[in-house]
A and B are shown apart, each in its own frame.
Chain A
Amino acid sequence: MSAFDYQRLDEVIHSRIRLAVMSILSGVESAEFTYLRERTGATDGNLGAHLRKLEEAGYVAVEKRFEDRKPVSRYELTAEGRAAFRRYVDRLEAMIGGEG
């Protein structure tokens, strides 16, 4: 795998927190913001910024509502997000496969 190929990794996903978020959401139907924060260990502001970037790329969708008068944000991967994540994992596997 050449440096050029490595750079073909999706830059939207290629960040520690965004990768963790995509990995979590790929295994569930949806997850609340607090759950993602707990699993990633990120701060509210940091996680919010990463989620906005994923949302702007069309990889995640958010549903906001009130439960017991508290705002709750629930995130899920879009079809585009699932396809992008699959491509990302495939490319990582190809890089390791090309090692030997």
Chain B
Amino acid sequence: MQDSAREDLALIRRIMEETRQEVTERGRHLVIWGGISTAGLLATWWAALGRGGVDPVRVWTGLLVVGWGASLYVGWRDGRRARVRTAGRRLLSAVWLTAAVTLTLVGGAGMFGGVLSNRSLPGVLSGILAMPILLTSLLTGERWLSWVAAGWWLGGAVMLFVPGVYALPLMAGMALLLMAVPGGVLNARASARRGAGPVRDGA
């Protein structure tokens, strides 16, 4: 009887842990914004080096429109297709929406309004970006994402304390390696879980 109770409890715990991971569906947004940010930062760097042909304001305006359009479409489509609704998923959506609005406002204020120095902007944006990534790690149980968040804080600190034009390609590389790549990993892990089969054969 106690063996049966132990098996039942183990089953319950495994199912609850697997169900908890259902919130891990944010990968596509990270891939979108990782790509957008990399392209925008490289364009800005190009212009900062004095090479002509690129207007960073126009580039960023276009990229932001594309990024927000793609992200809102993906969010709407995922919401319609979601076969399971969890409080964690709603919280995660709210966290990323808040972060995206804040990043757009701060980035826009810095670039278009001149409110923030262009020298400090990459560091400030990196520091803000680390927060939703750390919260994603905590909410989904994907602990490795905590190291990704730490990478953004570390990079942000370097860019704030040692400002320079190098910060633009550095942040572009971070956007690729610490945003787009983790997004792809999250997508792959979510797909693997969906194809993992049932928690237990029918009985």
Question: Do the beta carbons of A30 and B84 come within 8 Å of each other?
Answer: yes
**Which residues of B in the span 1-36 have a Cβ within 8 Å of any Cβ on A?**
1-2, 5-6, 8-9, 11-12, 15-16, 18-20, 22
A16-B202, A23-B15, A39-B19 are known; give 5 further A-B pairs, CB within 8 A: A16-B203, A28-B84, A28-B85, A39-B18, A92-B12
Which residues does B use to contact A, with CB under 8 Å?
A: 1-2, 5-6, 8-9, 11-12, 15-16, 18-20, 22, 80, 83-87, 197-203
A34, B20: Cα distance in complex, Å = 18
Question: A94 vs B202: C-alpha distance in the bound complex, in angstroms?
Answer: 27
**A20 contacts across to B, CB distance below 8 A:** 11, 15, 199-200
Task: State whether A92 touches B8 (Cβ < 8 A).
Answer: yes
Q: Does A17 contact B (CB under 8 A)?
A: yes
Contacts A1-B2, A41-B201: A19 and B84 contacting too (C-beta < 8 A)? no
How far, in Å, is B198 (CB) from chain A's closest CB? 3
Which of B9, B18, B87, B202 has the largest number of chain A CB atoms within 10 A? Answer: B202
Q: Tell me, in angstroms, the Cα distance from A48 to B22 when the chains sit together.
A: 23
Does A31 contact B83, Cβ atoms closer than 8 Å? Answer: yes
A→B interface (CB under 8 Å):
1, 3, 6, 15-17, 19-20, 23-24, 26-32, 34-35, 38-43, 46, 67, 89, 92-93, 95-96, 98-99
Given known A-B contacts A16-B200, A41-B197, A41-B199, A27 and B16 have beta carbons under 8 A apart: yes
In the docked arrangement, what's the CA distance between A30 and B83, Å?
Answer: 8
Q: Report the Cα distance A28→B22, complex, angstroms.
A: 9
- In the bound assembly, the distance between CA atoms of A32 and B6 in angstroms comes to 29
Of B6, B15, B22, B197, most A-chain CB atoms within 10 Å: B15
Question: Chain A binding site: helix, strand, loop or mixed by DSSP?
Answer: helix
Contacts of B201 in A (CB 8 A): 41
17 contacts between A and B (CB under 8 A): A16-B203, A17-B202, A17-B203, A20-B11, A24-B15, A27-B15, A28-B19, A28-B84, A28-B86, A32-B84, A39-B19, A40-B199, A41-B201, A42-B202, A89-B12, A93-B9, A95-B2
Q: A6-B1, A26-B16 known; A19 and B86 CB under 8 Å?
A: no
Contacts of A28 in B (CB 8 A): 19, 22, 84-86
Q: Are A41 and B5 in contact (CB under 8 A)?
A: no
Give chain A residues whose Cβ lies under 8 Å from the Cβ of B12: 19, 23, 89, 92
How distant is A31 from chain B, measured CB to nearest CB, in Å? 4
B97 to chain A, nearest CB (A): 18
Complex Cα–Cα for A11 and B66 (A): 55
